[in-house]
Amino acid sequence: MDQTIADILEFVEENDVKFIRLAYCDLFGIQKNMAIMAGQLKKAFEEGIIFDASAVKGFQTVEHSDLFLVPDGSTVTILPWRPSHERVMRICCNVKNPDGTDFEGYSRNILKKAVQRSVDMGYICNIGTECEFYLFKTDEAGEPTTEPFDHGGYNDIAPLDKCENIRREICLAIEEMGLLPESSHHERGPGQNEVDFRYSDALSAADNFITFKMVVKSIAAQNGLYASFLPKPLHQESGNGLHINLSLSQGGKNLFQRGDKHSANAESFIAGILARSTEMAAFLNPLTNSYSRLGSFEAPKYVTWSHQNRSQLIRIPASTEERTRMEMRAADPACNPYLAFALLIHAGLDGIEQKARLLPPDNRNLFEVDDPMLPALPHSLEQALQLAENSSFVHRALPEPIVEKYIAEKKRECASCRSAADRQAFELARYFHTI
């Protein structure tokens, strides 16, 4: 038996762990889990735990419905908000076919391949996320409302900021789980918050993001609140963004440098992402609601870049030399992070292979400029899906069955939205309780 597995089984026995949550997500980034008793964990590691993949969006059909959850021992963590007696452990899982091979349709496996491509080319891509979310009040039945928990604004303090104790609980919980939160604050919208993470390898960053959303929703519920990651839950207020910070190193050296000069490969990496940004939009901004956010409240509209300028799609934040990186500002927290990160890495690596030339920065405030000559992000999910469907890059970066299933499901969402009498009411009914 692998020593890591043996150590985990010993920990479970010695620390009164009774329940194991085998965590994964569907094709669209919606979290799932299956709970097993501690006595089944050895079997899970050795054989996997069977589940009905036909009941999971984007996985299998009824005719081929058996897949297996196999725990990844490097992702073990205890859920700190659950009782200290008969404790609950959570483990991220790989998804396997009955013959033991990786299931091609599982997005975590897709990100692993992108990471391996990066390593094979001699690069390490680290990722850190900055995620925004709203806290809403619940009604007498415990159901979520759209009434914000407070009326605070950016970096406000109590009593305007009523969310500070919730953020404190969230940060302490995720830190206890081994994640590395760096900062948190009240954001611009009423009841809106942000937590920023220290960078890590891409797979850990995606696992951590999925974990973070689970923690936020769980702790909010324990406090009688509802946490929403919907890109635009309140029409007249700031939207929820997911800023993705990417750094690139080679031989232990960060290729992003301070000031206006960067290595040629770092510039080509940025250029590659800019070149494919419209084709990736359907995966980084996956809801009809996502496109209500873009172009306002510091969410970008154009495919441009600059240093520090927050009106750009990509900016290079002011930082120390060690932590200099690019920040991709268009994505939102409704995305599947495994697909989003995989596409960003592939686009950047394509840029390096093609020695793509980075155009000069646009240093204007693009929230105050309407420039029809600038390339723009898609204005709707329908347009984004058409760009993805016609993209040779997307079809190369992702397995064909994934692309087909993803686009087909999202087209159905678009059709439902078009036929709705009230678009905003449709989006709240469709997404608010799940995102």
pLDDT tens digits, residue range 309-332?
Answer: 888 999 988 666 666 889 999 999
What average pLDDT score do residues 282-291 get? 98
6's CB contacts (< 8 A; 6+ apart) are none
The length of the chain in residues reads 435
Evaluate whether the domain defined by 113-431 bears CATH number 3.30.590.10. yes
**Which amino acid type is present at position 181?**
P
Q: What's the fold here for domain 3-101?
A: Ubiquitin-like (UB roll) (3.10.20)
Alpha-carbon gap, residue 411 to 366, rounded angstroms: 30
Helical spans, DSSP H, in 177-224:
202-222
Alpha-carbon gap, residue 335 to 344, rounded angstroms: 13
pLDDT of residue 323: 67
What average pLDDT score do residues 44-70 get? 93
Name residue, tokens 């605070």.
152
Alpha-carbon gap, residue 396 to 377, rounded angstroms: 21
pLDDT of residue 180: 87
What average pLDDT score do residues 202-229 get? 96
Q: How confident is the model at residue 285 (pLDDT cuts 50, 70, 90)?
A: very high
64's CB contacts (< 8 A; 6+ apart) are 53
What average pLDDT score do residues 360-374 get? 89
User: pTM to 2 decimals?
Assistant: 0.95
pLDDT of residue 320: 60
Mean pLDDT of the chain: 93
Q: What is the DSSP string of 23-37?
A: EEE-TTS-EEEEEEE
User: To the nearest whole percent, how much of the chain has pLDDT over 70?
Assistant: 97
Residue 172 pLDDT greater than 90, yes or no = yes
Residue 403 pLDDT greater than 90, yes or no = yes
What average pLDDT score do residues 208-236 get? 96
Query: Whose CA is closest to 164, among 139, 140, 183?
Result: 183
What average pLDDT score do residues 372-396 get? 97
Query: Whose CA is closest to 398, among 345, 355, 361?
Result: 345
Q: Contact 313/367 with Cβ under 8 angstroms?
A: no
pLDDT tens digits, residue range 14-29?
Answer: 999 999 999 999 999 9
Q: How confident is the model at residue 65 (pLDDT cuts 50, 70, 90)?
A: confident
Beta-bridged to residue 22, according to DSSP, are 34, 91
Beta-bridged to residue 316, according to DSSP, are 307
pLDDT of residue 85: 87
**Which amino acid type is present at position 148?**
P
Residue 1 pLDDT greater than 80, yes or no = no
Alpha-carbon gap, residue 101 to 104, rounded angstroms: 9
Of 113-117, 156-160, 238-242, the range with the lowest mean pLDDT is 156-160
Give the max Cα distance, the chain.
65
Strand 326-328, strand 242-250: pairing: antiparallel
- Could you tell me the residue ranges of all domains in the chain? 3-101, 113-431
Residue 256 pLDDT greater than 90, yes or no = no
Q: How confident is the model at residue 258 (pLDDT cuts 50, 70, 90)?
A: low
Tell me which of 19 and 261 has the higher pLDDT.
Answer: 19
pLDDT tens digits, residue range 179-204?
Answer: 888 999 999 999 999 999 888 999 99
pLDDT tens digits, residue range 101-111?
Answer: 999 999 999 99
What average pLDDT score do residues 254-278 get? 87
pLDDT of residue 118: 97
pLDDT of residue 252: 87
Question: What are phi and psi for residue 88, nearest 5 degrees?
Answer: -115, 125
For the chain, the distance separating the N- and C-terminal CA atoms, rounded to the nearest angstrom, is 39
In this structure, what DSSP letter does residue 109 have?
A: H
